[in-house]
Chains A and B, each alone.
Chain A
Amino acid sequence: MTASTTIWLLLCVLAPTLLGLATLFLPQKAITLRTLLALAGPVLSIVILAQHLAGHGVAAAADPMATPVISWIPLLNMNLSFLVDGLGAFFGLLVAGIGVLIVLYARGYFGPDEASLYRFYPTLGFFTTAMMGIVLSDYLLVTVLFWELTSISSFLLIGWDRYDKHAVKLAMQAFFTTGLGGMFLMGGVLMFGFATDIGLGGGGLWRWSEVLALGPGRISPSDPFIIASFALMLFGAATKSAQWPFHYWLPGAMAAPTPVSAYLHSATMVKAGVFLVARMFPVFAVLDLWSNILVPLGAFTMVLGAVVALNQHDLKRIFAYTTVSQLGLLMCVYGLGGMAAGGHPNIEWGITQIANHAFYKAPLFIIAGALGHYISRDITQLNGAFRKQPWMVLTMLLGGYALAAGPGTVSFPAKEFFLHAIHESAESIGPWWMLLMAMAAVTAMCNVAIFVRLLTTLMGWPGGMKPGASHGHDDHAAHGHGEHEHEHGPWAQMIWIPALALVSLQYVGGLAPGLWSQWFAPLETNIHHFAEGVPSALHAFTHPGVPLYVSLIAIICGVSIGLSPLMRGAIVDVHDRIYPAMYWLAVTGGGRAFRLVQTGRFRNYMVFVLLAFLAAYVASMVLDPTMLDWPQVESPFEFFPGVLLGAIICTTAILMPIVQSRVVRVIILGSCGFSVVGMYLLYQAPDLALTQLMFEIISVILFVLVLRMLPDKGETDRASGRWWRFSLGTLTGVAIGWLTLVSAQSGAEPRLGEFFAQHSYSGTELTDGRGGGGNNIVNVTLVDFRGFDTLGEITVLSIAALGVFSLFPRRKPLPTELEFDDQMARGVAL
Chain B
Amino acid sequence: MTISSPVLRNSMRLILPLMLLYALYAMLKGHNEPGGGFIGGMIMATAICTYRMSHGFAAQLRLMPVHPRVLIFLGLGLALGTSTVPLLLGEPFLRSAVGVFHLPFSGHAFHYASAMAFDLGVMLVVVGVGVGMITQLSEELE
Contact = CB atoms under 8 A, between A and B. Distances in A.
Interface of A: 686-687, 690-691, 694-695, 697-698, 701-702, 704-706, 708-709, 770-776, 778-780, 782-784, 787-788, 790-791, 794-795, 797-798, 800-802, 804-805, 808, 811
Contact of B133 (A787, A795, A804): A804
Contacts of A772: 31, 96, 98, 113, 115
Nearest to B38: A691
A797 B126 contact: yes
A709 B138 CA distance: 10
20 contacts: A691-B42, A695-B42, A698-B45, A705-B137, A706-B137, A771-B98, A772-B98, A774-B115, A776-B34, A780-B31, A782-B36, A783-B31, A784-B113, A788-B94, A794-B122, A794-B125, A797-B72, A802-B72, A805-B69, A808-B139
Interface string B72-84: 1001100110010
A698 B46 contact: yes
Given A775-B31, A801-B132, A804-B136, A701 B49 contact: yes
B115 A784 contact: yes
B93 interface: yes
A811 B111 contact: no
Given A776-B34, A778-B36, A790 B122 contact: yes
B136 A698 contact: no
A782 B94 CA distance: 12
A705 B49 CA distance: 12
B134 A701 contact: yes
Contacts of B53: 701
A758 B140 CA distance: 49
Contacts of A797: 72, 125-126, 129
Max chain B Cβ within 10 angstroms of own Cβ: one of A778, A794, A811: A794
B35 interface: yes
A37 B132 CA distance: 62
Max chain A Cβ within 10 angstroms of own Cβ: one of B33, B38, B136: B38
B100 to A, nearest CB: 10
Given A701-B49, A773-B31, A794-B126, 12 more contacts: A687-B39, A770-B98, A776-B34, A782-B37, A787-B115, A791-B94, A794-B75, A797-B126, A798-B76, A800-B133, A801-B128, A808-B140
Nearest to A787: B94
What is the interface of chain A mostly: helix, strand, loop, or mixed? helix
Q: Nearest 8 CB-CB pairs, A to B?
A: A773-B98, A774-B31, A694-B42, A686-B34, A779-B36, A775-B32, A783-B115, A773-B113
A773 B137 contact: no
A27 B129 CA distance: 56
Contacts of B69: 801-802, 805
Contacts of B46: 694, 697-698
B76 A795 contact: yes
Max chain A Cβ within 10 angstroms of own Cβ: one of B1, B33, B39: B39
Interface in B1-52: 1, 26, 30-39, 42-43, 45-46, 49-50
A776 B115 contact: no
A823 to B, nearest CB: 29
Nearest to B19: A694
A788 B118 CA distance: 11
Nearest to B130: A698
Contact of A691 (B39, B68, B96, B132): B39
A690 B1 contact: no
Contact of A774 (B26, B113, B137): B113
Nearest to A788: B94
B133 to A, nearest CB: 5
Nearest to B128: A801
B82 to A, nearest CB: 9
A805 B137 contact: no
Contacts of A779: 30-31, 35-37, 119
A772 B32 CA distance: 11
A794 B125 CA distance: 7
Nearest to A783: B115
B130 to A, nearest CB: 6
A709 B125 contact: no
Contacts of B50: 697, 701
Given A801-B128, A801-B133, A705 B138 contact: yes
Nearest to B119: A783
Nearest to A779: B36
A783 B96 contact: yes
A429 to B, nearest CB: 65
Nearest to A687: B34
B45 to A, nearest CB: 6
B141 interface: yes
Contacts of B1: 704-705, 708
A687 B94 contact: no
Given A706-B137, A773-B113, A791 B80 contact: yes
B11 to A, nearest CB: 14
Given A794-B125, A804-B136, A808-B136, A776 B36 contact: yes
Contact of A798 (B129, B136, B138): B129
Contacts of A784: 96, 113, 115
A800 B132 CA distance: 11
Contacts of A791: 79-80, 83, 94
Interface in B58-96: 68-69, 72, 75-76, 79-80, 83, 93-94, 96
Contacts of B133: 702, 800-801, 804
